[in-house]
Amino acid sequence: MMETLAALFTPQLVEATVRLAAPVILAAMAAVVCERSGVTNIAMEGIMLVGAFFAALVAWYTGSPWLGLVGGAAAGALYSLFFAWAAISLHFNHVVAGAIMNILAFGLTRYLMMVAYGRQGTSNAVARTLHDYKTAIPVLSDIPFIGKAFFDQTPIVYLALLSVVAWAWIFKRTRLGLSIEASGEYPMALETMGRSVVKTRYTAVVLGGVMCGLAGAFLSIENSNSFTEGMTDGRGFIALAANIAGGWRPVGVFLASLFFGFVDALQLRAQGLGVIDLPSELFLVFPYVATIAAVAGLVKRSRPPAAVGKDFSVEGGGD
């Protein structure tokens, strides 16, 4: 039994934890930003999917995974702009708008698969993936046990780690962060101080879209070499759970996302090693069960932004 555990818990496991956490980290940061601004975003699943598709398409068409990365981020931003329009300007219920965006994303990517590749299922493989650009940061990557995990990684993993630092700073020290916070806690206070809640929320949702797009790009052109229909597999919702479990704060959410990455890595590793003779489904189901446990156990510890999910209009608040 000890041997089994020793075989499981290796530096490779830590490395896989960080790598598999990357898309969840990015999407969960998107959730933090959107919800702190007052927008409930369950469209992340769909936004990621669109990002993954366009990243693969651009990378395949141009041969450059870097352009693919840009394409994925841009597609994520554009698609979330559409979501923002419905939820903020057209005053759709946020959850309903998100559900529609998810449904549309599945249809759109399936259709575009046929248009671009003439088939369903999995897209053509890209020539080079971002995994080919794995880079070790000198010195730091030599730190024992965790060095390789955090400092010998692929581009989008670095971007994910960077996004945590960036957002922690933005919320703590910047004008944008302060505005987002006010927009989610008490939007009228922001509006009466002459800053537009609508613009702030659009900004938050579109920046969230960029991160979801990157998360999608990770799935299609960094962690694999092609787009597969429905390849996000509920990660948008897991990110939502990570956001709740992490208490709507970048660092907490980062740790929660790492936990999901860890569960995923453990699942793959346990399966791969065949250390325990159980049906593979029992491992695959891990992340979902962990998500439910995390949401159930941690939800009460912190409180969501007061105005999250609530529609905002200036004259609606009239006397």
- Site of interaction with another protein (CB under 8 A): 42, 86, 90-92, 95-96, 99-100, 103-104, 106-108, 110-111, 113-115, 173-176, 178-179, 181-182, 185-186, 188-196, 230, 233-234, 237-238, 240-241, 244, 279, 281-282, 284-285, 288-289, 291-292, 295-297, 299-300, 306, 314-315, 318-319
Q: Name the phi and psi angles at 247, rounded to 5.
A: 70, 30
Write down the least CB distance from residue 101 to another protein, Å. 8
> Quick one: 141 or 234, whose CB is closer to another protein?
234
Write down the least CB distance from residue 204 to another protein, Å. 15
Write down the least CB distance from residue 102 to another protein, Å. 8
> Quick one: 52 or 156, whose CB is closer to another protein?
52
- Tokens read off for 45: 């699943």
Amino acid at 304: P
What are 11's strand-pairing partners?
Answer: none
Write down the least CB distance from residue 135 to another protein, Å. 29
Write down the least CB distance from residue 43 to another protein, Å. 12
What are 152's strand-pairing partners?
Answer: 136
- Tokens read off for 220: 């299609």
Query: In angstroms, how far is CA 37 from the centroid of its own chain?
Result: 17
| End-to-end C-alpha distance for the chain, whole angstroms | 68
Pairwise CA distance, residues 235 & 231, whole Å: 9
Q: Name the phi and psi angles at 174, rounded to 5.
A: -115, 165
> Quick one: 152 or 311, whose CB is closer to another protein?
311
Name the DSSP class of 221.
I
> Quick one: 6 or 175, whose CB is closer to another protein?
175
